[in-house]
Amino acid sequence: MDTEKVKADLEKALGPVALKSVRSSLLVENAQDLPKVAKFLKEDAAYRLDYLSSVTASDFIDYLETVYHLYSMEKKTGPVTLRVRVPRTDPKIPSLVSLYRGAEFQERDNFDLFGIVYEGHPDLRRIMMWEGFEGFPMRKDYLQEDSETLESVDVEWLEKNGVKVPEAAKAKAVELRQQGKRALAERRVEDKG
């Protein structure tokens, strides 16, 4: 679908909406405008984009981005792609669940893996990772654990369950705890610095 035409129609109908064409998709510059834009595209007789096929996210380090793909089942058109960029420090986007029920699990998925908070979501909690998991593993600054080194939590747990832990592993765990460090996966050499 012609992005420039969609943009012109949106600006005509909604007045001051900051939109920008980015690579045949529409960047909604102010995240709070998103429900307005989506509602127009869903309900306007010329578009009738009644199907939200995907809500996905990506981490661009400078910001987090959510991408929406809208299709029309009625008119057999689409997709219209919407992008929303939010800062990493305060990633909040209004939820589209009230417009598209299909967004519910996908927004939960993005919340789980990227930590983007969809305001107004009826049940925003982790969907893939378990309750009590810390951090957002698809963010680029997520530090993965080193799965070969036991930490003091592991040693305590193992001894509580009657498993003998080798002395070397125990000493390593104590050392890590004294330094106040976690055992983290090593980085690739070319990525250092």
Partner 1 sequence: MALAPNTSQVDDGLKNELAKKGIVVTTLNQLYNWGRRSSIWPMQFGLACCAIEMIATACARYDIARFGAELFRPSPRQADLMIVAGTVTKKMAPQVVRLYNQMAEPKYVITMGACSIAGGPFIDGYNVLRGIDRYIPVDVHLPGCPPRPEALLYGLMELQKKIDGQQIETAEWYQQGLKREYPIPEFGPHGLIPKFNPEVWQPRENDLRKERYGQPIMIGKKTKAPNLDVVAVAAAPKPAAPAAPAQTPPTPGMA
Binding site for partner 1 (CB under 8 A): 21-23, 60-63, 128-135, 137, 140-145, 147-151, 153-155, 157-158, 161-166, 169, 182, 185-188, 191-193
C-beta of 90: minimal distance to partner 1 in Å? 18
Cα–Cα dist 134/152, whole Å:
18
Q: Which is nearer to partner 1, 21 or 30 (CB)?
A: 21
CB of 154 to partner 1, least distance (A): 4
At its nearest, how many Å lie between partner 1 and the CB of residue 59? Answer: 9
What does the radius of gyration of the chain's CA atoms come to, in whole angstroms? 23
Query: Nearer to partner 1 by C-beta: 30 or 46?
Result: 30
Question: Smallest distance, Å, CB 107 to partner 1?
Answer: 20
145 or 175, CB closer to partner 1? 145
Name the pairing type of β-strands 92-94 and 77-86: unpaired
Report d(CA 60, CA 21) in Å as an integer.
18
Helix axis angle for 3-14 and 34-43, nearest 10°, is 110
What dihedral do alpha carbons 49, 50, 51, 55 form, nearest 10°?
70
Minimum separation from the CB atom of position 84 to partner 1 (A): 13
65, 73, 179 from 69: Cα distances, Å: 13, 13, 47
Given the complex with partner 1, which of 39 and 85 has the nearer CB atom? 85
The nearest distance, CB 100 to partner 1, in angstroms, is 24
Stretch (H or E) spanning 59: strand 51-59
Q: Taking a C-beta distance cutoff of 8 angstroms, is the pair 123, 104 a contact? A: yes
Tokens of 149: 């080194």
Based on CB atoms, which residue is closest to partner 1, 75 or 182? 182
Q: Which is nearer to partner 1, 107 or 151 (CB)?
A: 151
